[in-house]
């Protein structure tokens, strides 16, 4: 018997009964709800549903927040549905968008540090983001494979520099039941422009997070509620000719600096000592 599952099931049932009672839900509405959930499954949108209901962010906080609340480490954030394993391995300085000219160029640089401010040598950033129209490579015929994705290896001081473009805001559920629901209840389905990161280093816990583009129109009303103040980037405009040339650019670009701080590895449960029998 799974007592936790039993308790959650009982409570869930109680909440649903209260809801049915309060709204005097009809049979017709129940059938519509069942059709909705069937469609969510068929279109593989359960994660997206959890996102727009604010469940994903809450669960992320519960799962990845409290162990480190006493430490100053980079705020965790949800992975979202668009991560892909196996992005190209790159060394810093890296360019994850070689066809840069289509968007505003952005150079993200910084350092990966431990909680006591020591550099983490050869830390890795797994980066992924949407393009200047708000589309991820794996949902867009026009982008090359793994465009705007990369696993960037930092140098011996944990430093990195990633050249990319400024992503556009992302509209979730453009097709499918979750987007349809949002429309029906008059909720917008925009996410402020963001860049995803999984940051890892040997001997440290990895962190999955997102950094947000400043001054985005949706930053105060992210449809999944994932924005945290400490994850909003600050942009500078770089018009310096030699810095432009260095990067093969013929126009000014945006620069931003962000340091990631990884938590120390949570001690693995003590391994049972092997008892040697002669």
Applying CB under 6 A, the residues found at the interface with ligand MBD are 51, 78, 80-82, 170, 172, 191, 224
CB contact at 8 A, 87 and 147 = no
| Choices 66-74, 79-87, 90-98, 151-159; region in contact with Fe ion by CB under 5 A | 79-87
For the CB of residue 275, give the shortest distance to ligand MBD in the complex, in Å: 47
78 binds, among ligand MBD, Fe ion, none (CB under 5 to 8 A by kind): ligand MBD
For the CB of residue 149, give the shortest distance to ligand MBD in the complex, in Å: 13
CB contact at 8 A, 168 and 104 = no
> Which one, of 183, 163, 138, lies nearest residue 249 by Cα?
163
Looking at the Cβ atoms of 93 and 103, the one nearer to Fe ion is 103
- Contact with Fe ion (CB under 5 A): which of 77, 80, 143, 169? 80
- The answer to whether residue 167 forms part of the interface with Fe ion (CB under 5 A) is no
51 binds, among Fe ion, ligand MBD, none (CB under 5 to 8 A by kind): ligand MBD
231 binds, among ligand MBD, Fe ion, none (CB under 5 to 8 A by kind): none
> DSSP states of 228-240 as a string?
-GGGB---EEE--
For the CB of residue 23, give the shortest distance to Fe ion in the complex, in Å: 33
Neighbouring C-beta atoms of residue 275, cutoff 10 Å: 5
Instruction: Report the alpha-carbon distance of residue 3 to residue 16 in Å, rounded.
Output: 20
Looking at the Cβ atoms of 80 and 169, the one nearer to Fe ion is 80
Tokens found for residue 91: 């060394």
CB contact at 8 A, 138 and 82 = yes
Looking at the Cβ atoms of 149 and 255, the one nearer to Fe ion is 149
Q: Which residues contact 170 (CB under 8 A, 6 or more apart)?
A: 130, 134, 136, 190, 191, 193, 194
- The answer to whether residue 158 forms part of the interface with Fe ion (CB under 5 A) is no
Site of interaction with Fe ion (CB under 5 A): 80
């Amino acid at each position: 018997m799974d007592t936790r599952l039993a308790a959650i099931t009982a409570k869930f049932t109680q909440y649903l009964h209260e809801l049915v009672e309060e709204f005097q839900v009809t049979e017709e509405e129940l059938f519509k709800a069942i059709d909705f959930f069937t469609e969510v499954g068929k279109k593989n949108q359960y994660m997206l549903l959890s996102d727009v209901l604010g469940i994903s962010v809450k669960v992320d906080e519960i799962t990845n927040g409290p162990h480190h609340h006493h430490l100053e480490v980079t705020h965790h954030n949800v992975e979202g549905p668009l991560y892909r394993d196996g992005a190209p391995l790159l060394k810093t300085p890296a360019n994850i968008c070689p066809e840069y000219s289509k968007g505003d160029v952005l150079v993200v640089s910084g350092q990966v540090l431990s909680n006591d401010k020591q550099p983490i040598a050869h830390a890795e950033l797994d980066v992924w983001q949407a393009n200047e129209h708000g589309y991820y490579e794996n949902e867009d015929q026009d982008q090359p494979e793994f465009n705007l994705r990369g696993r960037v290896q930092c140098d011996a001081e944990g430093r990195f520099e990633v050249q990319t473009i400024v992503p556009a805001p992302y509209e979730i559920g453009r097709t499918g039941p979750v987007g349809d629901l949002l429309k029906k209840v008059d909720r917008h389905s925009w996410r402020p422009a963001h860049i995803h990161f999984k940051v890892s280093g040997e001997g440290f816990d990895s962190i999955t997070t997102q950094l947000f583009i400043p001054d985005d129109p949706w930053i105060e009303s992210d449809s999944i509620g994932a924005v945290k103040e400490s994850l909003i980037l600050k942009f500078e405009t770089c018009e310096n000719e030699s810095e432009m040339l260095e990067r093969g650019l013929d126009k000014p670009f945006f620069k931003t600096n962000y340091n990631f701080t990884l938590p120390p590895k949570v001690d693995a449960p003590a391994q049972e000592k092997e008892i040697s029998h002669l």
